[in-house]
Each structure stands twice: as structure tokens, then as C-alpha cells.
Amino acid sequence: MSSIELFSNPAGLKGKDFLSLSQFNSDEITGLLESALMMKKEAKEGKFPPYLKGKTLGMIFEKSSTRTRVSFEVGMYQLGGNAIFLSSKDLQLGRGESVEDTAKVLSRYLDGIMIRTFAHKTVETFSENATIPIINGLTDLHHPTQVLADLLTILEHKGKLKGLNVCYIGDGNNNMCHSWIEGAVKMGMNLSIACPDEYAPDQTIASSAMNEARTTGFSIKITSCPKTAINGADVVITDVWTSMGQEAENEKRLHDFKDFQVSADLVEHATSDFIFLHCLPAHRGEEVTSEVIDGGHSVVLDEAENRLHAQKAILRAIMGDGMV
């Protein structure tokens, strides 16, 4: 593991929402990463300062979850607070109560809300109507908490973020790719995306990031050739070809993405010390081979663990003392 390049950042985020990485600057993201590293070190030493003593997080789930639910729930416990699991099937939301009314009422009980849902508009509506911080635990458009954990993992293994070459292979029009586009441009990383033409990233997100990247000297490139994208990559990332809610498209997607599998042959074009990331769950034999995801370059378990530490940093920053 490389020594870690850290930066000073006393910025405060108390009371702010966490909907996408585009709303933060590089110093704020760096501050969250520093806070996560500090609390991870404390946890390894058995130290759990009660930064959120007496605070309660409501967790609304319209999509099933393993890592998101467990990491947020454990994170709140380790921070001295409480977490309440709220299935959309059990809430009045499932019987037609408006998002607006739900946000206003829950704001009277809770100190923050994390939502894992389909439409990004849902978290935006919560944000517009709640008087407490809202965290996007995943939507079809963005997955910012996962990419913050990815950045933390890369920082630990590479010692820096700025200037690294990152390659994302697979569905460009999904939440992981969109959040990676925003995260890469904020942190000064070169991002190459390999995807079929009909699965290109959201045009608004991509264009905005490309314009920002041009002013910093870094690049975001989109290609339909995986070998071109992965050439010289320090970090290789993929995700499932069929996400939740797209099951009816599975057979078509298996055909459309058959040339985009991350295999041992493909990663030969990356750097000799590349690391491989996948947000999980993975479909071995589809988007990635077992040889790669279970091989020596894979850091997917570190990445999964870092959901806990990255989210603790978010929770402390927006629900606690505001310091990152």
C-alpha cells in the first residue's frame, strides 16, 4: 500500500444534503475522505467517539440492499446514534401519501433521511420539502455514496487521486458511471469510459463534466472500444450489465455487452499495478471473470468495507458537528 497524500480541509457541511457529487468541490470531497480515514483508524483501534449521540437516521428503501443498509445502520451505531429501517411497503408512501407530506412529517421526528430509490426526482423532492439533511443512498441516476467509498479505496491503495487514469467499462448510462464522471472531474482524475454507443452516459452530466475537465487539464473520454479505454489505466471499474428495474432487458443486455467483459486478456492493457473495483453484487462470467474479481489486483472487499467508513464521514459532516 502506498503512503497516502492528504490535504488540509476544515470545511463544514452541517445541514447540507448529499444528493450527488456535483454539488461539492474538491476540498469538500477531500475533507470527507480525510474524515473517513480518521474514523476508520479509530474503529480499528476500538475507538468510537459518539459524534452523533442522540441523533436518528431514517432509512427509506424502495430498492433492496445489502451494503447500503448494513453500512448505514452500523455507521449510525458506531457514531452513537440510531437508525430506523423504513420500507416503502410499510410507509404510507406505499399507499399513496405524497413524498412532500412524508418529508415534512419525518423532518419532525428525525435528524436525517437516507433514501434508496428508483427515480432521482424522488430524492430531489424530499430535499425540497424536508428541513433535515437528505442522503442519496442510490437512484437510477446517481450513486454518490458508493463512489465516495471507491475514492477512499483508491486513495488507500494508490496514495493519491489526482492524475490517476481510471477506466470504467460497461453500461455508461447507469448510476455508477454518472457518479464516477462527477467524482473524477472533481478530484482531477482522467476517466475513460468504454460502453456500447446506445448505452452512453447522460448527455447533460457528461457535457458538464467534460467542460469542467477541460479547464483543469484532465480528461473524460467515451469510446466503444474497451482496449482503447483501458490502455494505461491505474484503476479499472465495472458494474453489472442489468441493474435493478431492468430485468426485462436482461437478454438484450447480455448480447449488447458481450464484448465489454473485464477479462484477464483485457486487463493486460492496464498498468502492471492496476487495481480492480466493482460495487457488488457481481455476476461472475458476465461483466467480469472470476480470474479478475477474485485475483490479486481486486480490491472489491476493501471497497465494500469502505462504504461504512465513507458513510460515517458523510453522516458526521451533515448531521453532526459539520466538520470534515
**Known binder of ligand: residue 175?**
yes
Which position among 120, 140, 142, 146 bears the catalytic label?
Answer: 146
**Known binder of ligand: residue 116?**
yes
> What is the layout of strands, in order, in the sheet containing 190-194?
220-223, 190-194, 165-169, 235-238, 275-278
Which position among 239, 261, 309, 316 bears the catalytic label?
Answer: 239
Which position among 17, 78, 116, 309 bears the catalytic label?
Answer: 116
**Known binder of ligand: residue 195?**
no
Catalytic residue status for 307: yes
Catalytic residue status for 143: yes
Which position among 143, 178, 253, 316 bears the catalytic label?
Answer: 143
**Known binder of ligand: residue 125?**
no
**Known binder of ligand: residue 144?**
yes
Task: Return the exposure string of 251-262: e unless at least 16 CB atoms fall within 10 Å of the residue's CB, then b.
Answer: eebeebbeebbb
**Known binder of ligand: residue 145?**
yes
User: What's the rounded Cα separation, in Å, for the pair 324 and 313?
Assistant: 7
**Known binder of ligand: residue 307?**
yes
Instruction: Please provide the DSSP assignment of 149-193 as one string.
Output: HHHHHHHHHHS--TT-EEEEES-SSSHHHHHHHHHHHHTT-EEEE
**Known binder of ligand: residue 65?**
yes
19 within 8 A of 1, measured Cβ to Cβ: no
Catalytic residue status for 225: no
Catalytic residue status for 279: yes
**Known binder of ligand: residue 146?**
yes
**Known binder of ligand: residue 66?**
yes
The cell numbers describing 279, all together, are 460495487
| DSSP single-letter state for residue 4 | P
Residue whose entry in the numeric block shows the C-alpha cell 481510471 = 166
174 within 8 A of 319, measured Cβ to Cβ: no
198 within 8 A of 260, measured Cβ to Cβ: no
Which position among 140, 157, 279, 311 bears the catalytic label?
Answer: 279
Which position among 307, 309, 311, 316 bears the catalytic label?
Answer: 307
The Cβ of residue 31 has, within 10 Å, a number of other Cβ atoms equal to: 23
The Cβ of residue 205 has, within 10 Å, a number of other Cβ atoms equal to: 19
**Known binder of ligand: residue 246?**
no
222 within 8 A of 165, measured Cβ to Cβ: no
**Known binder of ligand: residue 37?**
no
**Known binder of ligand: residue 284?**
no
**Known binder of ligand: residue 92?**
yes
50 phi, psi to nearest 5 deg = -80, 65
What three-state secondary structure class fits 287?
coil
What residues form the annotated binding site for L-ornithine? 175, 239, 243-244
What residues form the annotated binding site for carbamoyl phosphate? 65-68, 92, 116, 143-146, 279-280, 307
What residues form the annotated binding site? 65-68, 92, 116, 143-146, 175, 239, 243-244, 279-280, 307
What residues act catalytically? Answer: 116, 143, 146, 239, 279, 307
